[in-house]
Every structure is written in C-alpha cells, then in structure tokens.
Amino acid sequence: MERTLIVAGFGGQGVLSLGMVIARAGMSEGYEVSWLPSYGPEQRGGTANCHVILSDEPVACPLVGHPQTLIAFNLPSLEKFAQRVVPGGEILVESGLEAAVTREDVRLYALPALEEANRFGDTRVANMVMLGAWLELHPILGDEAIEDALRRVISKRHHDLLPLDLEAIRAGRRLMAMARA
Amino acid sequence: MGERELMKGNEAMAEAAIRAGCRYFFGYPITPQSELLEYMARHLAGRGGVFLQAESEVSAINMVYGAAGAGARVMTATSSPGFSLMQEGLSYMAGAELPAVVVNVVRGGPGLGGLQPAQSDYFQATKGGGHGDYRLIVLAPSSPQEAADLVYEAFDVADRYRNVVLILADSILAQAMEPVELPPARDPASLPAKPWATVGRGERAEPNLVNSLYLAAEDLWALNQRLQAKYRRIEAEETRWAEEWTEEADWLVVAYGSMARIALAAIRQLRREEGLRVGLFRPISLWPFPSRALARRAAGTRGVLTMEMSTGQMVEDVRLAVEGAVPVRFFGKTGGVVPEVEEAVEAIRRMVAETEPRHAHPVR
C-alpha cells in the first residue's frame, strides 16, 4: 500500500495542515509517513504546497515527483502540478477550475469546497472539505485517527473550531459520494 | 521502543540536543534553519537552559566559544551565509580545542543565494572553512530520525575529542516531517567533568587557560602536532557510513543527506524494474571521509556515480578514495534545484551504459 499526494493552493488556505493531518493520522494507523512542505517566499501570498506519502514500507524519499492525488485549490497550483499526476491518478479541484484540466487519463473531481465552507460561515474550513473528499476515496484512515491528528495539528487556541472542522470533513465526504454517484 | 512523534528535522535536532544535556543555545535566525532556533527559544528556558538571540552569527559563534570554554554543552545553528560568518570563530575554537555542536542547514549559494535545499557547502565544511590546519567532525544525516540521533551523539563526540562537530543538513530533511523516536533525556549534572574548563581556579595550583594564540612558533608547531594526532585518532574511530544493496553490486552510487534518499528511490526503481545490480554507499561522516570502506566497496564494481546537490564537491573525495580503480562519474544539480528521481534514474542508466564491459557487446 502506498498513497502519494501533492496538496497545493495559496498560502493561508490550509494546504500544509491538510497534508499534515493525513500524515499524522497515517502514522497513528501504523503507516510509514512523510510530509514535506514548500516554504520560503511562496508562503507569503504565493502558492504553497506539500508532499505527503503513506506507505507500508519505509519511505525512500519524501519528495513526491508524481503523485497519485493532486488536491489543488487554485489555478496556479493546478497548472503547476496537473501534468505530474500519475496516469490513472486523480485530481481534486475547487469547482470552476476543472476546465483547466486537459488530461484524459486521470479522474477529475471538481468540488465546491469554498461554497460548502461558506455555508458553515468560515471559508477557512475549505481545506477540511477537501480532506473529507479525499478520505471518501481512500478509506484507510479511521475517524479516531483523523480527530486525534486534527487535535495535534491545529493549535490549541483554535480548538473551539474542531467541531466545525469535523462537520466540514463530513460535508466533503458527502460531496465526494455525490460526485462519484 | 519509545513513542514515535511526527517532527520536522529542525525540531528533532533541537529536542535531541536538549535531551543530550545541551542547555545553551546562541544563534541568529535564518531560513531554512529557523524552526530549530524557534524550538530552542520556546523550550530551553523552561528546561533550565539559556537561549539567546545574538545580533549576528559572528556574535553567536563567539558566545558558543565562551560557553564551551566554561565547559557547557552548547549549540548553535545556522544556514550557509551565516555559516560563512562563523568561520573565524570556528577556527579559534579549533585552536582552543573547544567542543560544541554546530548545525548548518545548507541552502543554495554562493552569496545570499536562495532558500532552497543544496549541498554546496561541502568543501567549506570538510576542508577547514576558516584559516589554519584544522578539521571539524562533519556528520550528515539523511532523515529527521538520523538528524536527531546524530545531534544527540555529537555532543559526546565533541566532548571526547574537544572538537567542534558540525551537523551538515539540508532543508529537505530539516523541513520534512517524519516519525522520530527520541532518545532518552540526560541530566547535564551526570555528564563527565571537564577539568580543563575555565570555571575559576578553585584548589588547583595553576589557572586553566583556553586560548588559540601561540606567539612562539615552536609552541604553535606543538599545538598543530597535537591537533594532527587527534585528527588521525578521529579518522580511526569516528568514520561512519551506511550501505544499501552493496553486496555483489555491479555499480555503486555515492550520495549523502537528502540526495541519498533520492538516490535510494532511483536505485530501488532500477533494481525492481530492470534488475540492475546497483548499490548505495552513503557517507555519514563527511570528515573523516570513509575512504577505505568506499575503496573496498568500489573495487569489485564496474563504476561509481557520485550524486550531489552541488556542481561536484564530494566527488573529489570519492575520486581520491577510489584512486582510479574504477571510473567515477558525477551527477548533480545546485542552486536549490532538487534533482528528480527520474533524473537520478537516467544518470545511473548513463553510467551503466558507459561502464558496461566491452566484451559484453558483440564485436564484429
């Protein structure tokens, strides 16, 4: 078993924490994991991304050249990484961006994560909607592991948002279930 | 087994240092090392230590000199431009034989360079860096776990030889998070005494002196003789490396740090998909360089490929070690451009094609 992801978007959209929740939950489920952020000037207003690996084997290299999954929150990220997804892989994008994907050999899921987050009154949880969508496709991480990971990744002063995050994850699962139906 | 925590290499190195009994950290923030310094700023005071942000790296390394002279376990961390600023202080510490642990999370150069990963400080790290005939013990981890293990041990090694140990890291392993099992915490009071430290004369007949100024040439010659004897001892006792699939390998890749992880992924792919018998030789101590072990391993192969995130620095030590016994090729990228696994695969294929024995091909 191996899962490889690149999560990319604007700095501040929570792409790094989305990846970190998957890595932390993966570790507590017994997988070998790695999480590698892009960093530096990119984080200030530009694009940010992280590489995540979950594997049965020790991770040879934390860099993900060709991910099975790309989760892209904006156009620059999509343009940067779409060609890198392995054939047969998948791209999860914010609704409205799907037209930019020209590949025929990947599964494409366009999800209104921002709109969904807005319904909760907080666009910051759009990343959790996408996380839920990914979890629906890859049922390898238990709810308990995800909750525990959230508690560790999200700083304590934002722990009042945890119920909202979990709600957003459930919404993401529903969106993905509908998209697949 | 202790519990595994998901940590960045920078954080793992900081925590391992505190657990090794380090209670003093002096530094100046610089990307991509800053999480290490921030971790120390957050944790050291609460654990009976002192964190101090200096006004520059020049100042930081001289604070390290002072604390080391007083016998404390002390650390600083920086990245390439800051490491250049520390060279004078490191040379003085070599002359005064002061132990400390220094971390350089290398970024692309020269000059102010960039923020991305590189291995272009190899020459500076392993060949002296500052003035005078001296060496730092240079250890190069390739994962957050190994970074923690090496930092933890580095304090013992530094004290054993009264020598600076440099941890040469890069921003892939410093910024990446992987599971880390941390070593047990040691009480600074339980560490071996340093009878040479300048902590007041006490009952001794003569005061201790820590200094690197020897105006009489004979005295400076004697110091250098002593240092060289120490360096020979370090070569004999502290040479470290790791090997993967080198038994009966037809070709060898030599790489260190995060580049060794990329090489490992490439080798794994080539072995699986093409059955190529390629092994990985990974120097862990860059000084002392594992020359003898590498020469032994290289002897039975058809060729050696050195991979670096530089334009070719360690490859010189590889060539010196192999002494022309087999061809030594180089593949590298620098300036913060990280080679892709496919590029590493291609480079290995090229070497294999070029070093295939002639009689393997039909000749007409």
For helices B87-96 and B57-69, the axis angle rounded to 10 degrees is 10
The residues pairing with A93 across neighbouring beta strands, listed in sequence order, are A72, A110
Residue A6 Cα, gap to closest chain B Cα (Å): 14
Quote the number of domains for chain A: 1
Residue B176 Cα, gap to closest chain A Cα (Å): 4
Residue B269 Cα, gap to closest chain A Cα (Å): 10
Decide if B178 and A59 are in contact by the 8 Å CB cutoff. Answer: yes
Decide if A60 and B265 are in contact by the 8 Å CB cutoff. Answer: yes
pLDDT at residue B356, as a whole number = 81
A65 — contact with chain B (CB < 8 Å)? yes
Decide if A36 and B265 are in contact by the 8 Å CB cutoff. Answer: no
Decide if A39 and B31 are in contact by the 8 Å CB cutoff. Answer: yes
CATH of residue A31: 3.40.920.10
**Distance from C-alpha of B273 to C-alpha of A31, rounded to nearest angstrom:** 24
**Distance from C-alpha of B348 to C-alpha of B251, rounded to nearest angstrom:** 9
Which chain A residues are closer than 8 Å to B341 by Cβ?
61, 63, 65
Decide if A34 and B115 are in contact by the 8 Å CB cutoff. Answer: no
Decide if B6 and A23 are in contact by the 8 Å CB cutoff. Answer: yes
pLDDT at residue A171, as a whole number = 97
Domain limits at A24? 2-180
**Distance from C-alpha of B332 to C-alpha of B294, rounded to nearest angstrom:** 20
From residue A142, give the alpha-carbon distance in Å to each of A25, A35, B138: 8, 19, 43
Answer yes or no: is pLDDT of A61 > 60. Answer: yes
Q: How is residue B20 written in tokens?
A: 């090794």
pLDDT at residue A41, as a whole number = 55
Decide if B268 and A32 are in contact by the 8 Å CB cutoff. Answer: no
Question: Which residue in the block uniquely carries the two structure tokens 């999370």?
Answer: B105
Residue pair B115/B156 in contact (Cβ under 8 Å)? The answer is: no
A162 — contact with chain B (CB < 8 Å)? no
Query: Which candidate in A50, A63, A148, A150 is best for mutational testing of the B interface (most B CBs within 10 A)?
Result: A63
**Distance from C-alpha of A142 to C-alpha of A136, rounded to nearest angstrom:** 11
Which chain A residues are closer than 8 Å to B172 by Cβ?
36, 62-63
From residue B272, give the alpha-carbon distance in Å to each of A53, B242, B275, B300: 20, 21, 6, 22
pLDDT at residue B79, as a whole number = 98
Q: Identify residues of B whose CB sits under 8 angstroms from chain A CBs.
A: 4, 6, 31-32, 114-116, 171-172, 175-179, 258, 261-262, 264-265, 268, 338, 340-342
Chain B neighbours among A 29-48 (CB < 8 Å)?
32-37, 39-41
Class of domain B4-237 as given by CATH: alpha beta
**Distance from C-alpha of A88 to C-alpha of B290, rounded to nearest angstrom:** 44
Residue pair B281/B229 in contact (Cβ under 8 Å)? The answer is: no
The stretches in chain B having pLDDT less than 70 are 1-2, 358-364
pLDDT at residue B363, as a whole number = 47
The DSSP code for B142 is S
A16 — contact with chain B (CB < 8 Å)? no
Q: Predicted ipTM?
A: 0.93
Q: Out of 3.40.50.920, 3.30.930.10, 3.40.50.11540, 2.60.40.2130, select the CATH number for domain B243-360.
A: 3.40.50.920
pLDDT at residue A44, as a whole number = 55
**Distance from C-alpha of A114 to C-alpha of A34, rounded to nearest angstrom:** 27
Decide if B176 and A34 are in contact by the 8 Å CB cutoff. Answer: yes
Please write the tens of the pLDDT for every residue from A100-130. 999 999 999 999 999 999 999 998 999 999 9
Q: What confidence category does residue A38 fall into, taking pLDDT thresholds of 50, 70 and 90?
A: confident
Of A36, A61, A65, the CB nearest to B175: A36
Query: Which candidate in A21, A32, A39 is best for mutational testing of the B interface (most B CBs within 10 A)?
Result: A39
Decide if B176 and A36 are in contact by the 8 Å CB cutoff. Answer: yes
pLDDT at residue A11, as a whole number = 82
Which residue in B has a C-alpha nearest to residue A38's C-alpha?
A: B175
**Distance from C-alpha of A28 to C-alpha of A110, rounded to nearest angstrom:** 30
Domains B4-237 and B243-360 share a fold: yes
The residues pairing with A10 across neighbouring beta strands, listed in sequence order, are A47
> Whole-number mean pLDDT of chain A?
93
pLDDT at residue A10, as a whole number = 87
Which residue in B has a C-alpha nearest to residue A53's C-alpha?
A: B178
Residue pair B302/B79 in contact (Cβ under 8 Å)? The answer is: no
Q: How is residue A26 written in tokens?
A: 């993966």
Decide if B115 and A41 are in contact by the 8 Å CB cutoff. Answer: yes
Which chain B residues are closer than 8 Å to A30 by Cβ?
none
Residue pair B252/B290 in contact (Cβ under 8 Å)? The answer is: no
pLDDT at residue B359, as a whole number = 47
Q: Which residue has the higher pLDDT, B2 or A58?
A: A58
Residue B260 Cα, gap to closest chain A Cα (Å): 9
Question: Which residue in the block uniquely carries the two structure tokens 């030599």?
Answer: B254
Of A20, A24, A39, the CB nearest to B175: A39
Q: pTM of this prediction?
A: 0.95
**Distance from C-alpha of B118 to C-alpha of B108, rounded to nearest angstrom:** 5
Decide if A36 and B4 are in contact by the 8 Å CB cutoff. Answer: no
C-beta atoms surrounding B264 within 10 Å? 23
Which residue in A has a C-alpha nearest to residue B31's C-alpha?
A: A40
Residue A34 identity: S
Size of interface A-B (CB pairs under 8 A): 61
Q: Domain locations in chain B?
A: 4-237, 243-360
* Torsion sign (Cα): B125, B130, B133, B137: negative
Decide if B178 and A65 are in contact by the 8 Å CB cutoff. Answer: no
Answer yes or no: is pLDDT of A169 > 50. Answer: yes
A86 — contact with chain B (CB < 8 Å)? no
